[in-house]
Structure 1
Amino acid sequence: MSAPDTRYLFVYGTLMSGARTRLGAAERLRLAEQSDSLGPASLPHAKLYDLGRYPGIDCSGGLDDIVHGEAVLLADAAATFAWLDVYEDCAPADRTSVTSAAVYERVVQQVRLAGGETFDAWVYVLCRVPQDARRIDSGRWNDGAA
């Protein structure tokens, strides 16, 4: 099975252009250099969790669940994901060498821009929701509190 062909990425935490955390600062700048922001976006049917210094998403939400973030268009998706998957502690795409230490997997989900346009974008989702993770009901990560 081949990887989906999309250069869109949905970010919702330390990589958002407006984030102000030290965690991810260098990666946020690097992502900004390698992409164009399309502005605010949302991911329907998803739940957002506070994992301490950063958030995580579970895509098994209901009709009323939504996560708010930002969509970006990557100039060179393969080059960006080469370093971004490492930063995100992402499980390998082939899933044959997944360890219990992997935090995220990168999957394609349909996202919606603020203006209503929808498209497929890569999203880093949790491999498993930690038992002690607190759900963020608003679907918006407040990096000032993290």
Structure 2
Amino acid sequence: MADFLFVYGTLRRACAHPMHAVLAADSRYVGIAQYQGKLYRVSHYPGVVPSDNPVQQVVGEVYQLLKPAQTLAALDRYEECSADFPAPHEYCRELQQVTLENGDSVSAWVYLYNHDLAGLKQIVSGDYLDDWFQQ
């Protein structure tokens, strides 16, 4: 089984965040994908939660991890959900189904937002880049 990762925020290529370079160094870009969820602006970064509504789709990118243990450990530190950080963590990494542009579904790691959503603005388009470029 291949290890896939779905990224929807600052780790996307267009954001040019330094952590994207870490991801890109040890992975293969697969393509654009969608995840059935709701996207929120947490701060200068987003958070996603699963949704039961198939209309609610979050846009992101899928990567095949070539060194999954190493890459996920680095990303867990970046997302502050490793054992180095006190619980409850802001994010939890879980396997979720995502849909690629060609319609194929794959199981991919997704960093899900793990705190209260009260007071957070929903990014209705489901695309963080729409919100990010407006900031």
Whole-angstrom distance in 2 between the partners of 1:145 and 1:55: 14
Q: Structure 1 residue 67: deviation in Å?
A: 0.5
Say how many residue pairs are matched: 132
Whole-angstrom distance in 2 between the partners of 1:6 and 1:103: 26
| CA RMSD, Structure 1 to Structure 2 (Å) | 1.8
Match of 1:110 among 87, 97, 104: 97
Tell me if structure 2 keeps the 8 A contact 1:6–1:121.
no
* 2:16 pairs with 1:29: no
Equivalent AA in structure 2 for residue 51 of structure 1 = V
Equivalent AA in structure 1 for residue 47 of structure 2 = G
Q: Structure 1 residue 51: deviation in Å?
A: 1.1
Tell me if structure 2 keeps the 8 A contact 1:112–1:118.
yes
Matching residue of 2:8: 12
Q: Structure 1 residue 7: deviation in Å?
A: 0.8
Equivalent AA in structure 1 for residue 100 of structure 2 = L
List structure 1 segments (4+ residues) > 3 angstroms apart after TM superposition: none
* 2:25 pairs with 1:38: no
1:5-51 deviation digits (Å, cap 9, x = unpaired): 6510000000011224xxxx22111111111111110002x100011
Unaligned runs of 5+ in 2: none
Structure 1 residues 66 and 17: CA distance shift in structure 2, 3 A: same
Tell me if structure 1 keeps the 8 A contact 2:33–2:62.
yes
Give 3-state SS (helix, strand or coil) of 1:18's partner: helix
TM-score, normalised to structure 2, is 0.89
